[in-house]
Amino acid sequence: MPKSASARLITLATVTAAAALSLTACAGGGGVKASGPGVSVAPSASTQSTGPTTTGTGTTGTGGTTASDTADRTTTVKPGQGSAPSRSHTGTGTTSASGLATCGTSSIRVTVQRVTRPINHVVLQATNTSSRACALYGYPDLKFSEHQQAVTAVMDGSQPQAVVTLAPGASGYASVMTEGEDTYPTERVSVIGVYLQDRSGAAGGRLDAKVPGAPLYVEEEGAAVSYWQPTLSDALTW
C-alpha cells in the first residue's frame, strides 16, 4: 500500500476514535440530550423528584366533650359580670375546678327573679357570699312542695361547656320552667327548695329561696330547670 494512503487511514482512525471518546464523555455527564440510534441517556439526579415524605397522625384525636370533661373546666364569673347580656366570660374555660371549694349552703345565697320572657319561667340567682371562689356544679335540684315525689327534671342541652366558677360576690343563674307542654296539677308555691350539687352530682344541704310576689303557680311534674349558667342572658335562653 502506498505510504500516502496508509497515512490517511491512520489519520481517519485517530479522528474516529477521538470522536467516539468525546461522545462517551458527553453522554456520561447527563447534560446533553442525545437522540441518535443506540444512545440511551438516563435523567440526571437533578431532574428527579425528591419531594419531602410527609408522615403524621392525620385527624385522629379524642374529640367531643363529655360530662367528666366539663367537670374539670371552669368559666369564672366576677362581681357585676353575670348580668351582662354577653356570652364573653372571664377565664379560658380550661382551668381545673378540682382545686376549688364547692359552692355550698354556707357560701351561697339563692334568690328568685320573675321574668316576662320566656313565659312561664323564673330565674334562680346564686350569689357567692364567701371570701373565696367556689365551683357551682351541675344544676340545682328543686323541690316545690313537701309531697313532691322527685326533684325537678333538667332541661336537655342546657349543660355549659365549663363549670361556672364564682368569684366572691359574683352570681350564677339557672332558668326554671314552671309549666310543661302537658297539663299537670298546679301548686301554689311561695318558697323553692334548692339543693346544690357537688362535683359528683350529689345534692347537698337545702337552701330556701322565697318567691317575690308569691304565690308562684308551678306544675311540679311538668317543671324543668337548666344547668347553672354564667350570665342571666344565658339562663334566659332556656
Cβ atoms of 150 and 224 closer than 8 Å = no
CA-based R_g, the chain, Å = 41
List the beta bridge partners of residue 173: 125, 229
Cell numbers at 108, concatenated:
351561697
Cβ atoms of 231 and 126 closer than 8 Å = no
pTM of the predicted structure, to 2 decimals: 0.62
- In whole angstroms, give the CA distance from residue 178 to residue 215: 12
One digit per residue, pLDDT tens: the chain, 238 residues? 444 444 443 443 443 444 443 434 334 444 333 333 333 323 333 333 333 333 333 333 333 333 444 555 556 676 655 433 332 233 323 345 667 999 999 999 999 999 999 999 999 999 999 999 999 999 999 999 998 988 899 999 999 999 999 999 999 999 999 998 778 889 999 999 999 999 999 999 999 999 999 999 999 999 999 999 999 999 999 9
Cβ atoms of 203 and 197 closer than 8 Å = yes
Helix (H, G, I), strand (E, B) or coil at 105: coil
Cβ atoms of 166 and 172 closer than 8 Å = yes
Cis peptide before 185 (omega within 30 of 0): no
CA angle 190, 233, 103 (to 5 degrees): 65
Cβ atoms of 113 and 125 closer than 8 Å = yes
